[in-house]
Amino acid sequence: MRLKEKVSIITGAGSGMGRVAALRFAAEGSRVVVADNQEAAAVETVRQVRAAGGEATPITVDVSVEADAKAMVELAIQKYERVDVLYNNAGIMPEADHSVVDTPVEAWDQVMAINVRGVYLACKYAIPRMLERRSGSIINVSSFVALLGCSVPQDAYTASKGAVLALTRSLAVQFAPQGVRTNAILPGPVETPLLMEWLLKDEEAKKLRLARNPTGRFGKPEEVVALAVYLASDESAWTNGASLVIDGGISVNYF
């Protein structure tokens, strides 16, 4: 077991990659705080973890709300006595987010609140707990769109994931001297509800994304979570401040 005895908080663990991560982390021996703003989804993830013989606790949180982020970290301490891993996975990609010229201010602010403020708040409360033990791993989920321009724009989302990357580097430099590592995962298009619901409505966007991918397919949540297991584990003790792209090669493809 690669995460034996660890305590991990995973945000957005009620769906997609977050749920797959909760299941995999628990299978690797971690106790998991399953945080999501959809109560039933978090409870269902925990049910699946327990059915597979793992240990998890659900909590309903909106990661953009400070009191919720604080409660999430306190639950981990109260229930499992520490936080070893903070996996900032929750993120949104609303339909109203398009080009800057036609994205409503409300959609822009909502994306920034969840995708960026959410990461800040979880770190704000988890890092002091990690520093007490001089040990911790923060995994921030960015996206390959933080590295590339996109002809099918989602400008708020793209900017939010760029902010996550920049914040990752800053945290990596600040806290590694005290034993807390921070890294970012940049997935390409992965088959999860977030992407598939959006692409179902936009056949052109789907075709463009597939045509660009040298592997000719979307990623699977398990393939991204495998990288997160490495970052959460002690195997990655010297990996810090890394921007790890996992996209089937889209971002190195000229044509």
Ligand X SMILES: NC(=O)c1ccc[n+]([C@@H]2O[C@H](COP(=O)([O-])OP(=O)(O)OC[C@H]3O[C@@H](n4cnc5c(N)ncnc54)[C@H](O)[C@@H]3O)[C@@H](O)[C@H]2O)c1
List residues near ligand X by CB under 6 A. 11-12, 14-18, 36-38, 41, 61-64, 89-93, 114, 141, 143, 187, 189-190, 192-195
CB of 35 to ligand X, least distance (A): 6
Tokens of 195: 């992407």
Residues 6+ apart with CB under 8 A from 53: none
Kindly tell me which of 33 and 93 has the beta carbon lying closer to ligand X: 93
Kindly tell me which of 158 and 233 has the beta carbon lying closer to ligand X: 158
Which three-class secondary structure state does DSSP give residue 42?
helix
CB of 30 to ligand X, least distance (A): 18
Return d(Cα 9, Cα 45) in angstroms, integer. Answer: 13
Cβ atoms 247, 172 nearer than 8 A: no
CA torsion, points 25, 209, 250, 168, in degrees to nearest 10? -50
CB of 37 to ligand X, least distance (A): 4
Strand partners, 136: 180
Could you confirm whether 157 is annotated as catalytic?
yes
* Amino acid (1-letter code) at residue 53: G
Kindly tell me which of 120 and 131 has the beta carbon lying closer to ligand X: 120
CB of 210 to ligand X, least distance (A): 12
Give me the catalytic one of 125, 157, 230, 254. Answer: 157
Q: E strands along the chain, which residues?
A: 7-11, 31-36, 55-60, 85-88, 136-141, 180-187, 243-246
Kindly tell me which of 4 and 253 has the beta carbon lying closer to ligand X: 253
Tokens of 246: 């996992």
Q: Annotated catalytic sites, by residue?
A: 157
